[in-house]
Amino acid sequence: MIIIGSMSHVICCAGSLIFLLGFNRRSLQNRKDRQFFCMLLAAAVMFAANTADSFYNPQPENLVEFILQAITFIGFYFLLFYYTRYLSEIIRPKAYRILDFATGSMCVLSAVLWIISIFNGSVVQISGEYVTPGPLYLLGQMGGFLIILNDIFLLVFYRKVIGIRSAAILATLPLIPLIAAVFEMLFSGPSVRSQFIFLSIMIIYTYYYQETSLELERKESALLKSKVDLMTGRMQPHYLYNVLSTIYYLCEEDPMKAQEAVGIFSDYLRDVLEVLQRQEPVTLAWERKEVRNYVRLEKMRFGDRLQISYLSELNEEEILVPPLSIQPLVENAIRHGMHTTDGSVRIRLEARIISADPDSGTGSEKNSAGKKMLTCASKREVQILVMDDGVGYESDQVSYGEGLLNVQERLRMQCSGTLNVRSIVGEGTVVEIRLPCETDRKRKRTSPVLL
């Protein structure tokens, strides 16, 4: 029995050390995480002393034996103290702050009483693995019992703040050692408190890391949203300025067209501002519609000098892109692709599924009806091209301005996509968007559409 008890102490000690070593030290800047780390440290010290004590029992009257037992008692009450502080950091009741001193004082007094009991057996008489209650056993249990009762009260009273599920899990640390204490009070025999405490710490540790992971995901999501909000906020004034410049130009050249442009622009703003407020990806079909509205405004200014065609091989209702991710590319093609001689530009938009691996072929398959179907396997991507036949640039002169960087970053954060630019002097510029291909999409045979 002694060997089994000693081995269980070894398991508890090893487990607590693993928990301690696995703790992320970088999170110690957070007050709540510091309390949890101190709780794990106290548990590790307690289990280490308890393990050493279980193997040192052949000489129970030795000074080392007394020191090990004292460290065990101190570790246990420090464990309760930091657990209570951990709860107070989760709940954050202002009135509870003044009770920290009371909790600490109760832990110190209880630890002192148990340490004295090592010498006179007033609380318990320890013989090897066996524990026999002493005359002051109930008084010795009173401090820990009051702390545990206080913790349970907090969990019940603030269950709506913590969440019922979380409160039930957190209650395992005070309740399980309490059950062990009652068991030891009713039955003389081997001490099971350490094993019960380790079980509760294992449950709390698992809960802590699940909550930490969820909290980290929430913070990353909030950070992502704030970045998208910032980039969208920077994008809108830039775009609005360009459209208003076009309308301003039309007011001088053709007031009737300017009035029509204002109508188109108001419809456009209604759709776009609603989507931008949600900060969610939109379908490629929605993006194409807004590109068409933008092009209608620009064609009022440039007339036949601006020609745009669109060829799609996709079901555009299934493809998601960040809102206004293609429109800025078309805008750049118009602004920077105009020929210096006649002020004209032809732009072509294409959307298809391609192979991410050039050696894997086109990947076209036939369905049960014998019709061709574009498969979207793990090595396939959605490719969207915005091509113009404008003036082009030297390869070393291609630079990503604020607009392109904005689109590139939103593609990366919202769709895990990429953006690349290729340009040749005298031949034009190609901007390529690639998105992960997640589902099969049937080939939608369409001829070029003149926008």
**Which domains are seen in the chain, by residue range?**
2-191 (no CATH), 225-450 (3.30.565.10)
- Residue-level pLDDT at 349: 94
Own/partner pairs, 35-38, CB within 8 angstroms, 24+ separation: 35/82, 35/85, 35/86, 35/89, 36/82, 36/86, 36/208, 38/78, 38/82
Phi first, then psi, for residue 383 (nearest 5°) are -115, 130
Q: Using CA atoms, how far apart are residues 273 and 266, in angstroms rounded to an integer?
A: 10
pLDDT at 189 over 50: yes
Q: What is the mean pLDDT of residues 108-124?
A: 83
pLDDT tens readout for residues 26-55: 667 778 888 889 999 998 998 888 888 777
pLDDT tens readout for residues 135-163: 887 888 788 888 888 888 888 888 888 88
Q: What is the mean pLDDT of residues 158-170?
A: 87
Give the residue, 446 or 282, on which the prediction is more confident: 282
How much of the chain, in percent, has pLDDT values that exceed 70? 76
Give CA separation, 183 vs 75, 131, 132, 190, 422, in Å.
21, 11, 12, 10, 76
The percent of the chain in helix, strand and coil, each rounded to the nearest 5, is 65, 15, 20
Tokens of 290: 């807004």
Q: Using CA atoms, how far apart are residues 116 and 113, in angstroms rounded to an integer?
A: 5
Angle formed by the axes of helices 137-157 and 99-120, nearest 10°: 150
Q: What is the 3-state secondary structure (H, E, C) of 245-304?
A: HHHHHHHHHCHHHHHHHHHHHHHHHHHHHHHHHHCCCEEHHHHHHHHHHHHHHHHHHHHH
Q: Residue 397 — pLDDT band, cuts 50, 70, 90?
A: low
pLDDT at 440 over 50: no
For CA atoms 114, 118, 124, 126, give the dihedral sign. Answer: positive
Q: Using CA atoms, how far apart are residues 84 and 107, in angstroms rounded to an integer?
A: 11
Give CA separation, 226 vs 37, 44, 277, in Å.
31, 40, 12
- Residue-level pLDDT at 451: 45
- Residue-level pLDDT at 132: 72
Angle formed by the axes of helices 284-302 and 327-337, nearest 10°: 30
Q: Using CA atoms, how far apart are residues 74 and 81, in angstroms rounded to an integer?
A: 10
pLDDT tens readout for residues 88-112: 888 875 555 666 778 888 888 888 8
Per the DSSP assignment, residues forming a β-bridge with 133 are: 124
Give the residue, 216 or 417, on which the prediction is more confident: 417
Q: Residue 236 — pLDDT band, cuts 50, 70, 90?
A: low
Q: Using CA atoms, how far apart are residues 181 and 132, in angstroms rounded to an integer?
A: 12
Residues 6+ apart with CB under 8 A from 437: 353, 376, 377, 380, 381, 382
Terminal Cα-to-Cα distance of the chain (whole angstroms): 86
Helices vs. strands in the chain: H and E counts, helices first: 13, 13
Q: Residue 336 — pLDDT band, cuts 50, 70, 90?
A: confident
Phi first, then psi, for residue 349 (nearest 5°) are -110, 135
- Residue-level pLDDT at 385: 94
User: By C-alpha distance, which of 405, 386, 384, 388 is closest to 235?
Assistant: 405
Give the residue, 129 or 101, on which the prediction is more confident: 101
Q: Using CA atoms, how far apart are residues 253 and 242, in angstroms rounded to an integer?
A: 17
Q: Residue 209 — pLDDT band, cuts 50, 70, 90?
A: confident
Residues 6+ apart with CB under 8 A from 161: 91
Give CA separation, 297 vs 258, 337, 402, in Å.
9, 17, 23
Give the residue, 403 or 424, on which the prediction is more confident: 424
pLDDT tens readout for residues 338-396: 776 677 889 999 999 888 654 444 444 444 334 344 444 446 889 999 999 888 877 66
User: By C-alpha distance, which of 335, 153, 95 is closest to 238?
Assistant: 335
Tell me what the pLDDT averaged over the chain comes to: 77
- Residue-level pLDDT at 445: 38
Give CA separation, 139 vs 191, 193, 358, 434, in Å.
19, 18, 78, 71
- Residue-level pLDDT at 387: 93
Q: Are strands 189-190 and 372-374 parallel, antiparallel or unpaired?
A: unpaired
Tokens of 419: 């953006």
Residues 6+ apart with CB under 8 A from 37: 20, 23, 28
Q: What is the mean pLDDT of residues 207-227?
A: 73
- Residue-level pLDDT at 228: 57
